Amino acid sequence: MFSPPASPAAWLARRWVPAMLLCTLTGIFFGWIRVHGSAWIGVAGMIAGGAAGYGAGRLGDGDGATFWGFGQRFALALGGSAVYLAAQLLTAGALHGSPADTPFTWIGEMAQGGLRERFFSLGQTGGMVLHLYRGSLSGGWWGGFNFLDALLFAFLFLVSCGIGLSRKESLPPPSSSRCAIWASLALTAALVAGVAGAWHLAEGPYPSRFSPEERRELERLAGTFRLTERDGTALPRGRQELLRIRAAGFDTLEGRLEGATFTVTRRRTHFSGLLFRRDPATPLPLRLVFSPDGTGLYLKIVTFTLQGRRNVVFRGVREGLPQDSSPAGTLWVRRQDAAGCRK
């Protein structure tokens, strides 16, 4: 059971796959850290890369030289860094998001500069003294420092993997095996394609056919909903407000709140548009998600105050239904209470 793998397929199953799982777990852990604390730019990559690399090396200690050449370990490090970064950002996006969001919503808003994220890091400007850096990142700087964090992960993974292969007889000379290189390249390509495809399916435009069936589907969603807001900041706690929605086209809904109207266009998983108020203020971005049976919804409005940007999330139940009778609505309330809107 614990004998060294004798074939490339066995090595991939017993060494490469566990190494990628270690990278995934470290990414999930530091994704949770950046939601409940701050992003440990650089520090997280070094800690995670060192831990995952050492674990992968210890797992392969004693395998011999066949599959642990430098090229193999380098490919492991690069593939693991891509998995680590994807797991960390998707975890943070899922935990940051409101019930009206997908994990990609937060990532997209950060990359576009709409949100800022707190970070913590260590640096050395000269001598042996380490300096503590704190601040916030957004847009291109945010993306660049996340890429730097992934590079530091790959470097520490490569170093620690060699340390984990502690026995001299297991430290390999150059090897002709290339299975990790091809597997890591295939994984990285599949990861990029999968994330891009999932992003498109979650946030992309709806492929409308402008058919009568689509119009009837929108008319089924139309109606009057009672809105409540969990935090009690936009509405006094316990107060309800009516939202009236009607179909305005084959892929468009119009809504009316007290003192405001909006028009939203259908996307693949939600509706998005702008909220217009009676006063001549800037229109506010709006996102609308219905429950599968159409009896409940979540409405997210992006507001801008002196304290900065804030996302206000309303829960709506179709008029005529008890406030807590909708199974989908009850499930969503639990999800919001657990994850909240932490933007």
Query: Pick from 162, 182, 203: which residue ends a domain?
Result: 203
Specify whether 143 is located in the same domain as 243. Answer: no
Specify whether 279 is located in the same domain as 134. Answer: no
154 within a domain of the structure (yes/no): yes
Name the maximum alpha-carbon separation found in the chain: 77
Specify whether 176 is located in the same domain as 248. Answer: no
pTM (two decimals)? 0.76
Specify whether 125 is located in the same domain as 50. Answer: yes
Domain count, the chain: 2
1 within a domain of the structure (yes/no): no
Specify whether 186 is located in the same domain as 158. Answer: yes
Specify whether 251 is located in the same domain as 137. Answer: no
164 within a domain of the structure (yes/no): yes
Specify whether 163 is located in the same domain as 218. Answer: no
Specify whether 329 is located in the same domain as 223. Answer: yes
Specify whether 123 is located in the same domain as 193. Answer: yes
196 within a domain of the structure (yes/no): yes
254 within a domain of the structure (yes/no): yes
Provide the residue-wise pLDDT of the chain in tens; the chain has 343 residues: 456 776 778 888 888 899 999 999 999 999 999 888 888 888 899 999 999 999 988 888 777 667 787 888 888 899 999 999 999 999 999 888 777 788 888 888 888 887 888 887 776 666 565 667 777 888 888 889 999 999 999 999 999 988 888 754 444 454 556 788 888 888 888 888 888 888 888 887 777 777 787 788 888 888 888 887 655 445 545 556 788 888 887 788 888 887 788 888 888 888 888 888 776 667 888 888 888 888 888 888 887 777 667 778 888 888 765 544 443 333 233 233 333 333 3
286 token code pair: 């709006």
Specify whether 159 is located in the same domain as 269. Answer: no
Specify whether 182 is located in the same domain as 257. Answer: no
Specify whether 191 is located in the same domain as 47. Answer: yes
Domain of 329? 212-339
Helix, strand, coil abundance in the chain, percent, nearest 5: 45, 25, 30
Query: Pick from 185, 203, 221: which residue ends a domain?
Result: 203
Task: Transcribe 188-243 into DSSP letters.
Answer: HHHHHHHHHHHHHHHHSBP-----HHHHHHHHHH-EEEEEEETTSSSS-TT--EEE
109 within a domain of the structure (yes/no): yes
